[in-house]
Amino acid sequence: MATATDIGTLIVRSPEIRGGRPRIAGTGVTVHRIVTWYKLGLSPEEIADELPHLTLAQIYAALAYYHANQKEIETDLAADAIEAEKAAQKHQP
């Protein structure tokens, strides 16, 4: 049986949850969300303060997943930025 220290069990994907994006197991928090805050300059400890239901190990697992799959996550982040820009332009007067 896997334990909380088994890093391979900390990040999961489910097509029906968050569009299949990688997320922290047992939560709806995506790797994408953790990485966004990390790229804004928050430390893993500060992210854990913002999301107190997560452990520091879960935050680091999300960051490890990001660094191991950086191209995938960066592509996803870029696509979100394009969609946000389109939505903003659509709603400008």
Residue 1's pLDDT is 40
Reported confidence tier of residue 2, pLDDT bands at 50, 70, 90 = very low
Q: Is the pLDDT of residue 89 over 70?
A: yes
Q: What is the pLDDT of residues 14-63, one digit of tens each?
A: 989 988 899 999 999 999 999 999 999 999 999 999 999 999 999 999 99
Residues 6+ apart with CB under 8 A from 11: 22, 23, 24, 25, 31, 61, 62, 65
pLDDT at 69: 93
Which phi-psi region, left, alpha or beta, contains residue 76 (left: φ > 0; alpha: ψ -120 to 50)?
Answer: alpha
Q: For the whole model, what pTM was predicted?
A: 0.82
Give me the domains of the chain, ranges plus CATH numbers: 10-90 (1.10.10.10)
